[in-house]
Amino acid sequence: MISSIEKIEYGKEIIEFELLQDKRKTFSIEVLPTAKITENKDKQEIFKKVKNKASWITKQKRYFIDNYKKTDEKKYVSGESFRYLGKQYLLKVIESNIDSIKVKNGYFYIEYCSKTPAKLINQWYKNKAFNIFNQELEKCFQKFLSYGFDKPSLKIRKLLKRWGSYNKNKNTITMNIEMIKASKSCIDYVIYHELCHCMYFSHRRAFYDLLETKCHDWKNIKSKLEKIKL
């Protein structure tokens, strides 16, 4: 794959993007805090397509300027706020002779001895994510039984740019562990999204039509998820 940094002018604005050229037949534009273009065509044709999408690209980039924030670095001390399944919990840390976490009345109660509070809560998140994501995948997959594909296996990782992804060759859905901090409706939306990729690899019209039938409120959920600071 060939990668290069390119620029185009749009009015008084300069749009800088990463151009990835490979053997794929489709043209895609991915706007994160930076724009990424994937295509296997002549550069002039690519620039023409980017200019046609310039208004949309600049709108998306403004959204990131207004809303994209790095997660604050946690110190894992009493009084800090942590999210779990869409709700905020305050941390209460107690040095003890045991290692344990309890969730009660809006608090994470952490007693620590041999492990640090950070290790305890991160392991707790991992265990909860494994159980809940598998439960929600099983539930969501019931709506796809008539389509004839096998239920994907599940992996959980820390993803930097995505809430989830689907590997067609391995029939695997990878979920961002940070999703355990979002509500179950957000978790289900991401799972439905990836299950739809089992039928349609690209984001074409048929993909969104299928997503609409499985998750009617997906647009509102997606909008809420993008605004959550996990």
The pTM assigned to this predicted structure is 0.69
**pLDDT tens track for 41-96:** 566 777 777 778 778 777 766 655 555 444 458 899 999 999 999 999 999 999 99
Cα separation of 7 and 19, whole Å? Answer: 10
Query: How many other CB atoms sit within 10 Å of the CB of residue 129?
Result: 20
Q: How many CA atoms lie within 13 A of 100 on its CB side?
A: 7
| Mean per-residue pLDDT, 179-197 | 96
Going by C-beta distance under 8 Å and a sequence separation of 6 or more, which residues neighbour residue 160?
none
